């Protein structure tokens, strides 16, 4: 046994004082007492599964002045995330086997943590789905236009869901209806205008189209960044093969919060009302929502601090997501057990990787946290290249230690591995 880790570990749905044995990067044993070549005793600190983020935009390649796989993965590691899945709207977009292979190779040289890569499913590459599926982690469909995306014609939705279903890959969908967005477009001078340009009914229409197109199809479908009460209600009673995620901004922010720098909070889908926020959070605790996903989409501070009409959409979040909700769990806004399900176990199950639980046979990916050790988020202490956070000053609990496949990535809040440690987990 290479390593043993001792502490109050979350195993089989509850916390137990135990030792975790690790051999060749896998959890090989869980017992009261174990001996290994190296032993780490964390006393009364909590040992939790590491988080898995199914939705990041590391901007690599093509926009690496905002972020790249080295800085993005380091930020993820410090936030307790052991594995991320990167979206395909880069430059070039990940639509071909060549672009997909190039991205996997490049990310493998840079990433500190394990990773997967999605491909775009577009009207132009429907005939390439089978070949792409042999290499990619899943597919992304954009039903509404957003940053550097290929809009997908919803008339082809059922056909492509059938094709992807045959590959057993997950398909993730940006659920905003393009004709609805075009119809409601107004000149945008602030967040309220942005909300009017992308009303909840656009999300509702898109979700109804997805439900109709997927009827009788056994493909795994994930609706990204659910943002509205209308979308939530449309998904109540959804089929078993359809999941949905919500981001921290949509769970924690609203227009009524009088957000200071309007352009910093410009995102698609938009920040909505307090009622939407509260509805989503209530469902998060025990409802329709399956996972929390960061939608980490960084832009530099200078890019964001321009006139609202030309400011780009998106905000960083991979490093602060788990810490924000660990603090909320400490304050009993939701249970720690539910949080682990939302951020660890269910994402691993949806994407089909042996992570997300402290369980024999799974990857030894876990974090160590002290719930008494909270701090205020400060951008200067974060690791994303973009250099700012929408949650500046918010209370959070960051892990002191992060293990990925049994290797200490973070020890006492310090990085221990070089870029390139991360492995591609996708195909």
Q: Of the residues 163, 209, 276, 295, which is catalytic?
A: 295
Alpha-carbon distance of 323 to 372, in angstroms, equals 13
Residues 6+ positions from 200 with CB-CB distance below 8 Å: 227, 228, 229, 230, 231, 272, 276
**How far apart, in Å, do the first and last CA atoms of the chain sit?**
29
Query: Closest Cα partner for 161 from 208, 211, 233, 87?
Result: 211
Q: In this structure, is the dihedral angle defined by the CA atoms of residues 220, 174, 70 and 104, taken in order, positive or negative? A: positive
Q: How far apart are CA 139 and CA 223, in angstroms?
A: 12
Residue 295 falls in the annotated catalytic set: yes
CA–CA dist 190, 134 (Å, integer): 43
Q: Tell the burial category of 159 from Cβ atoms under 10 Å away from its Cβ (0-12, 13-18, 19+).
A: exposed
Are 292 and 342 in contact by the 8 Å Cβ rule? The answer is yes
**Cβ neighbours, 10 Å, residue 240:** 7
C-alpha 384/C-alpha 186 separation (Å) is 32
CB 184 within 8 A of CB 196: yes
Query: Which residues form the catalytic set?
Result: 295
């Amino acid at each position: 046994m290479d390593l043993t880790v001792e502490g109050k570990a979350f195993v089989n749905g509850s916390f137990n004082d135990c030792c975790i044995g690790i051999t060749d990067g896998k959890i090989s044993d869980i017992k009261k007492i174990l001996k290994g070549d190296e032993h780490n005793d964390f006393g009364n600190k909590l040992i939790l599964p590491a988080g898995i983020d199914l939705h990041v935009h590391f901007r690599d390649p093509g926009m690496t002045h905002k972020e790249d796989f080295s800085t993005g993965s380091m930020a993820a590691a410090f936030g307790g995330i052991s594995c991320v899945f990167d979206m395909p709207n880069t430059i070039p977009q990940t639509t071909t086997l060549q672009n997909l292979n190039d991205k996997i190779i490049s990310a493998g040289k840079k990433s500190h943590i394990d990773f997967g890569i999605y491909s775009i499913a577009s009207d132009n590459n429907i005939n390439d789905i089978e070949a792409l599926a042999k290499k990619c982690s899943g597919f992304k469909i954009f039903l509404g236009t957003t940053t550097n995306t290929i809009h997908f014609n919803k008339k082809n939705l059922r056909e492509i869901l059938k094709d992807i279903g045959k590959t057993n890959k997950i398909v993730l969908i940006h659920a905003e209806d393009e004709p609805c967005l075009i119809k409601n477009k107004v000149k945008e001078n602030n967040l309220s205008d942005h909300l009017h340009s992308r009303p909840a009914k656009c999300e509702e229409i898109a979700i109804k189209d997805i439900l109709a197109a997927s009827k009788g199809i056994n493909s795994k479908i994930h609706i990204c960044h659910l943002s509205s009460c209308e979308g939530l209600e449309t998904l109540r009673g959804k089929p078993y093969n359809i999941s949905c995620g919500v981001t921290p901004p949509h769970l924690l922010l609203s227009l009524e919060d009088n957000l200071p720098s309007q352009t910093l909070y410009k995102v698609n889908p938009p920040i909505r009302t307090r009622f939407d926020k509260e509805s989503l959070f209530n469902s998060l605790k025990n409802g329709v929502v399956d996972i929390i996903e960061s939608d980490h989409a960084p832009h530099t501070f200078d890019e964001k601090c321009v006139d609202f009409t030309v400011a780009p959409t998106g905000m960083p979040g991979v490093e602060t997501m788990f810490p924000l909700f660990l603090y909320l769990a400490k304050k009993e806004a939701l249970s720690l057990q539910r949080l682990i399900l939302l951020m660890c176990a269910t994402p691993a199950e949806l994407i089909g990787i042996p992570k997300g639980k402290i369980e024999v046979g799974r990857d030894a990916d876990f974090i160590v946290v002290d719930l008494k050790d909270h701090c205020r988020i400060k951008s200067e202490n974060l690791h994303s290249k973009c250099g700012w956070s929408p949650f500046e000053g918010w209370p959070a609990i960051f892990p002191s230690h992060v293990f990925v496949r049994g290797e200490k990535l973070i020890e006492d809040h310090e990085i221990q591995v070089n870029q390139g440690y991360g492995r591609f987990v996708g195909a």
